[in-house]
């Protein structure tokens, strides 16, 4: 039973030029239900509100020349300061979505989910003035080695990963523990009814027999073998890291 003052909910704050993009896909399904139930809260703050001129200018040409525009340091910094000083924002990690950032991971998602929330700065155009990153010690996070046109979709990916890890969001308490990346392995393959299914070419495909055997021990062994095999074949990097970790444990 929860007694007394309820703890503040996990809060995601996005700084963006397109606040109307939020909650977007996060308003549906698992994350959407949790949002409606107040398990987490989401605030999208319009960077343009902090523009200094009446035209609402937020970007300018890069010093040194080159293509594209850069988010102005004065405007972006004012937005970050305003949000970071709001009640309840003390100790909230300040993140800039950036293809140059550290690759986002399940492990970082878990850490963020365990904290009070996250402030996510969404870049646009060519990016943001470097001095803002320094001045606010922004943690740069990338969602992959590809370039998006803005940080909003990347921010949503980070939020979604964190929210499904919050207590009470996912149905079964341990449905997260066997998932891909949680222990350095990818997931085993899933099957559901019907047990025999004829694909588009008429070929009958039957689910692996062990899964309908009712033998829990054998199922667990088979699944672990599948996880190891799939990880070894598809992600030699994960496999090597796991072998190194196992080797260190033995020492």
> Min. distance of Cβ 120 from ligand SAH in angstroms?
9
Question: Closest separation between CB of residue 197 and ligand SAH, Å?
Answer: 37
- Is the backbone of residue 157 left (phi > 0), alpha (psi -120 to 50) or beta? alpha
The whole-angstrom separation of Cα 106 and Cα 98 is 17
Residue nearest to ligand SAH (CB): 123
Least Cβ distance, residue 98 to ligand SAH (angstroms): 5
In whole angstroms, what is the distance from residue 208 CA to residue 50 CA?
A: 59
Shortest gap between Cβ of 71 and ligand SAH (angstroms)? 8
The residue count for the chain: 251
Of residues 134 and 209, the one with the C-beta less far from ligand SAH: 134
**Minimum distance from residue 118 beta carbon to ligand SAH (Å):** 14
Is the Cβ of residue 94 or residue 227 nearer to ligand SAH in the bound state? 94
Structure tokens at 219: 């199922």
Residues 45 and 35: their CA atoms lie apart, in Å, by 17
Structure tokens at 150: 């803005």
Could you tell me the smallest distance in angstroms from the CB atom of residue 2 to ligand SAH?
A: 36
Whichever of 13 and 98 has its CB closer to ligand SAH, that residue is 98
Q: Distance between alpha carbon 229 and the CA centroid of its chain, in Å?
A: 26
- Residue placing its CB nearer to ligand SAH in the complex, 24 or 222: 24
Question: Are 156 and 29 contacting, i.e. CB atoms less than 8 angstroms apart?
Answer: no
Q: Least CB distance from residue 97 to ligand SAH, whole Å? A: 4
Give contact residues for ligand SAH (rule: CB under 6 A): 97-100, 122-124, 126-127, 142-144, 146-148, 150-151, 154
Nearer to ligand SAH, 149 or 248 (CB): 149
The C-alpha atoms of residue 164 and residue 180 are separated, in whole angstroms, by 14
d(CA 180, CA 198): 28
């Amino acid at each position: 039973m929860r007694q007394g003052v309820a703890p503040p909910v996990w809060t995601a704050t996005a700084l963006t030029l397109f606040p109307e993009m939020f909650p977007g896909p996060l308003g549906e399904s698992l994350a959407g239900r949790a949002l409606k139930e107040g398990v987490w809260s989401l605030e999208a703050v319009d960077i343009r509100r902090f523009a200094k001129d009446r035209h609402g200018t937020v970007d300018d040409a890069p010093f040194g020349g080159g293509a594209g525009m850069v988010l102005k340091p004065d405007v972006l910094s004012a937005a970050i300061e305003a949000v970071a000083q709001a009640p309840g924002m003390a100790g909230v990690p300040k993140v800039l979505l950036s293809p140059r950032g550290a690759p986002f991971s399940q492990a970082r998602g878990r850490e963020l989910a365990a904290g009070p929330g996250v402030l996510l700065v969404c870049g646009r155009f060519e990016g943001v003035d470097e001095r803002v990153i320094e001045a606010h010690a922004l943690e740069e996070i990338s969602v992959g080695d590809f370039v998006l046109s803005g940080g909003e979709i990347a921010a949503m990916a980070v939020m979604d990963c964190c929210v499904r890890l919050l207590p009470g969001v996912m149905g079964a308490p341990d449905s997260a523990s066997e998932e891909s990346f949680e222990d350095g392995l990818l997931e085993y393959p899933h099957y559901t009814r019907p047990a025999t299914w004829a694909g588009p070419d008429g070929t009958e495909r039957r689910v692996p027999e062990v899964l309908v055997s009712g033998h829990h021990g054998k199922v667990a062994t088979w699944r672990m073998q599948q996880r190891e095999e799939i990880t070894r074949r598809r992600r030699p990097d994960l496999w090597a890291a796991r072998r190194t970790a196992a080797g260190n444990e033995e020492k």
